[in-house]
Amino acid sequence: MTLPSSLAPAPAPVVTRFAPSPTGRLHLGHAYSALFAYHFAKDRGGRFILRIEDIDPSRCKAEYIDGIYEDLSWLGLDWDTPVRLQSQHHADYRAALQKLQDCGVLYSCFCTRKEIQDEISRAGYAPHGPEGALYPGTCRSLRGREAQTESPEQTAPFALRLDLAKALAMIPASHLFWQEWEEGAVPAQPDLLGDIVVARKDIGTSYHLSVVVDDALQGVTHVTRGVDLRYATPIQRVLQELLGLPVPQYVHHPLLTDERGQRFAKRDRSVTLQELRKSGLRPEDIRSKIRNEYSFFRQNNIQD
């Protein structure tokens, strides 16, 4: 039955986010990503969210958070407040972890990096994925009581890993895809990452877990981010399925590169927005540089 248009539910307003990690000053590539998310939402009458992904205290600094606010305001962006700082929401990640535990798809992993490396060297071969060598599964068979109390390393800190095979057995294969903007349904191949760490030993969560929890809690409808993170979407789809979270659409945009075709990096100070500002560049120079270089802005006729 088709509902008369007056009774049909209104389409959800578009919500996008820019989610930098405060591990350095923002550079031109970030400016592109932030402007992309901002205009994608505003052009559709939607909302733009800024989220600070600061779960790793060893790499994130408060001064870089201030830098993010300063640089984005200078670029002319505004966003909803209060800004969500991931470091203040560990309870949400713990609740999601508990749900995964209850599904029986997590296992404790006591391995150090070196032990994983040694195990891979002994095996002589390890499949590699976008995050490096896949975990060889050493701790996968330590189960239940054994993992918690009878392991010789029982007092050692441990990470929680996803038993991917078990997880995939719980998800209908027909659910394993995502909608990529202007591309349509893309099949997700999560086995490329293997048994990922869902909760790190040191921080009790991980990028993949925090990002899917936050995108859902913040009502993000379109995850716009660089194509360098497209590799993460299949495993994030798996987590969304296990946690019963709503599924956003994805818009993986091209990466801005310099004149030699190299990606901008935080370590290259010359292209930070702070340095460019000091050198006299104006925000409109950056906005027009980005708009002129990328077809998304031209095709969508997005103006300042």
Tell me which residues touch ligand GLU (CB under 6 A). Answer: 19-21, 53, 211, 225, 229
List Cα–Cα distances, 298 to 5, 216, 288, 292, 304, in angstroms: 33, 30, 11, 7, 12
| Closest CB 247 distance from ligand GLU, rounded Å | 14
Is the distance from CB of 23 to CB of 4 less than 8 angstroms?
no
CB nearer ligand GLU, residue 53 or residue 92: 53
| Closest CB 85 distance from ligand GLU, rounded Å | 12
CB nearer ligand GLU, residue 144 or residue 246: 246
For the record, the structure tokens of 150 come out as 């009878």
- Is the Cα torsion angle 142, 57, 229, 46 positive or negative in sign? positive
What DSSP line would sit under 279-300, residue for residue?
Answer: TT--HHHHHHHHHHH-HHHHHT
CB nearer ligand GLU, residue 136 or residue 234: 234
Length of the chain: 304
The residue with tokens 């150090």 is: 112
| Closest CB 298 distance from ligand GLU, rounded Å | 24
| Closest CB 176 distance from ligand GLU, rounded Å | 19
**Measured distance CA(77)–CA(176) in Å, rounded:** 35
Chain Cα centroid distance, residue 254: 16
| Closest CB 114 distance from ligand GLU, rounded Å | 26
CB nearer ligand GLU, residue 195 or residue 215: 215
CB nearer ligand GLU, residue 29 or residue 283: 29
Give all strands (DSSP E) within the chain, no chain letters.
15-18, 47-52, 84-85, 106-109, 128-129, 132-133, 159-162, 177-180, 184-187, 197-199, 222-226, 249-253
CB nearer ligand GLU, residue 116 or residue 213: 213
| Closest CB 25 distance from ligand GLU, rounded Å | 13
